[in-house]
Structure 1
């Protein structure tokens, strides 16, 4: 079953749908060391996703004004955004505290190519962090506002927004019609594929979420601590340059949504649900022989480093280093990856 929010955003299980093209899941993962460059860490399941409007008696009033969705996240927990299953082309803007994770510029809500401030779906299979150029990103890591550790705080000098902002643009009607016709012709030429198959590497075997309890109506509403995203370690991942003309995209967004990051105690108070357990210890994961990933696409062109993001310091410089000794994956553990949706529950948009 799915719910809708105004603005073209919908929730289907733990998947966020923006317009007709973009499908986004928030994936729990291992936090990398803040030194060195690493392979893509594995997914450890989905973050549960809930609509703000479903908890009117327990969410803070300012969250109701912004609308959107929320998910529980631990202090210094890492995440990545998975785009597998995205159907039609979409230009997706990703903001962290209303700072663009691709360009480092402040959020404008408009597409730009100088510098590019969006990723192109389904070409971009996932995004694990802010664009650091040279085929790398720096991992998304959750931290509270007020310490100066977030990307928002370090780029803008203020920490007032937090969360994650997403906005998707479809192709303009003419280009979309051309794309659909080309897809129909390609499907006629292609051999049948297995039903229900997913793009390679999406989800990394993430398990289905357990059923959640309904929120208690008797819990008083309060101001929840605000969380945002800082950065952790560096990994090998390209952020691809758009090879379409700027005019190919619609000048109006198909959908947008504000994603609130909620500390586990507040998640329990607001929803009546327990947050997922803290991610598994990295050393234990590596000793178990479970896979890491390396993705390569020879047809794609990586974007250069985003200037404003180059000076962002990792969260360890603000909160101290809490890493246990690092156990790197052995070569055989790194797996190389390469070359019809149901209606969703609408998500309410607000003023942000």
Structure 2
């Protein structure tokens, strides 16, 4: 599941249509309650499957794409900063749409919406499972039934993450570019979302763009390497985050995807074996992070409407139901640690006796 137009730029995936995706390490939320947005703690390293043909499993070569290392029960979010033009991006968790809960499709839909609209959607932290909330993406092994895929379909076949981009069609893209040119001439400034990171904006990848990902290959020379432990996405805690309703019609986008990529999730030991590289350090202790006074985030957009939650995804249970109670201590952030990004919600209206 690769496309000649998908490239790696540092640790950023770039899909046709000006779409940029970064996989961000973050703090895992408790599975009880609803929380603010956890910070970005740097990007997961991303490597092409085809660059390690002698050490990856044969079925990974058949699917192509990229891989990244993730610890058991580690959380992640997808950041879309750096996306340059309006586009629709489909996101799958084991080929279950993370927005609609429907099976993976190569067509866009608005009833229900099965994509996020870029650049309006700055990030996605989890599945669209509640009104104004999402449940955090958390890595779990296949075979236990804990993944989104396993709970929705009753099978765990695919694992990983799937991405598919739909740029504007030629007419709408030309109109948008002309409008953007005029806007920039008038304003000479561009308003952007403040960075959501550990202590500031995460540095963009400095590596030059890699060659285009080749089409999926066959089995590795000399016989198939050993099977790797397959990982997929389950869900963890709930947080306040909207999945924005697109203001455009589906007809504004290309009828077919311009690019797609399969993202394999690799355990750290397998990452070292396959790539020869050291995996990232283990996840940051969230209580220590909060006690240090480091930031959490809240994001609010006055001009955007929320997509209705998916009943299918609302029924997905957190990974603790399979892996046991989350024993990592929780330290509630102080009010001053929660940084507001973009529009700040208005102050609450005081009520009295009626």
TM-score (norm 2): 0.89
Whether contact under 8 Å (2:90, 2:114) holds in the other structure is yes
1:64 is matched with which residue: 58, 61, 66? 61
CA distance in 2, matches of 1:231, 1:242: 25
Q: Provide Cα deviations, 1:293-337, integer angstroms capped at 9, x if missing partner.
A: 000001000011101111100000110013223111000000000
2:42 paired residue number:
45
Following the alignment from structure 1 to structure 2, what is the Cα–Cα distance between the partners of residues 192 and 133?
36
Alignment partner for residue 295 of structure 2, among 291, 294, 310?
A: 291
Task: Give the match for residue 25 of structure 1.
Answer: 22
1:304 to 2:298 alignment? no
- What's the CA shift string for 1:262-285, capped at 9, x where partnerless? 000000000001110111111100
Q: Determine the C-alpha separation between the residues in 2 that align with 1:303 and 1:323.
A: 33
**Would the aligned equivalents of 2:23 and 2:76 in 1 still touch at CA under 8 Å?**
yes
Q: Alignment partner for residue 153 of structure 1, among 150, 153, 172?
A: 150
Given that 2:12 and 2:22 are in contact with CA atoms closer than 8 Å, whether structure 1 keeps it comes out as: yes
Aligned residue-pair number: 327
Separation in 1, partners of 2:304, 2:189: 26
1:10 aligns with 2:12: no
Cα deviation, residue 239, structure 1: 0.2
Q: Secondary structure at the match of 1:48?
A: coil
Structure 1 residue 322 and structure 2 residue 326: aligned? yes
Matched, 1:243 2:247: yes
Q: 2-side partners of 1:192 and 1:281: how far apart?
A: 39
In structure 2, how many angstroms separate the alpha carbons of the residues matched to 1:256 and 1:40?
A: 28
Query: Is the 8 Å Cα contact of residues 48 and 209 (structure 1) preserved in structure 2?
Result: no
Partner deviation per Cα, 1:175-196 (whole Å, 9 max, x = no partner)? 0000000000001001346xxx
**How do residues 84-95 of structure 1 correspond to structure 2 at under 5 angstroms?**
84-95=81-92
User: How far does residue 110 in structure 1 lie from its aligned partner after superposition?
Assistant: 1.1
- The answer to whether the 8 Å contact 1:45/1:209 transfers is no
Residue equivalent to 1:349: none
Deviating above 6 A after TM superposition, structure 1's stretches of 4 or more consecutive aligned residues are: 208-211
* Corresponding residue number in structure 2 for 1:232: 236
Alignment equivalent of 2:194, drawn from 179, 189, 200: 200
Task: Find the residue that maps to 1:46 and give its secondary structure.
Answer: coil
- 5+ residue gaps, structure 2: 208-220, 344-354
Q: Distance in 2 between matches of 1:189 and 1:210?
A: 32
SS at match of 1:152: helix
- Report the CA distance between 1:131 and its aligned residue: 0.3
What displacement does 1:108 show?
1.3
State yes or no: 1:270 paired with 2:274.
yes
Alignment check: 8 A CA contact 1:172 1:249 kept: yes
Write the deviation string for residues 75-109 of structure 1: whole angstroms up to 9, x where unpaired: 00000000001000110000000000000001112
Distance in 1 (alpha carbons) for counterparts of 2:166 and 2:196: 22
- Alignment partners' CA distance in 1, 2:56 and 2:271: 9
The Cα of 1:246 is off from its aligned counterpart by 1.7
Tell me if 1:100 matches 2:101: no
Alpha-carbon RMSD across the aligned residues, in angstroms, is 2.0
Following the alignment from structure 2 to structure 1, what is the Cα–Cα distance between the partners of residues 165 and 124?
15
Give the TM-score, by structure 1 length. Answer: 0.89
Q: Please report how far the alpha carbon of residue 134 of structure 1 lies from its aligned counterpart in structure 2 after TM superposition.
A: 1.4
Give the counterpart of 2:341 among 325, 337, 341.
Answer: 337
Rounded to whole Å, the distance in 2 between the matches of 1:208 and 1:118 is 25
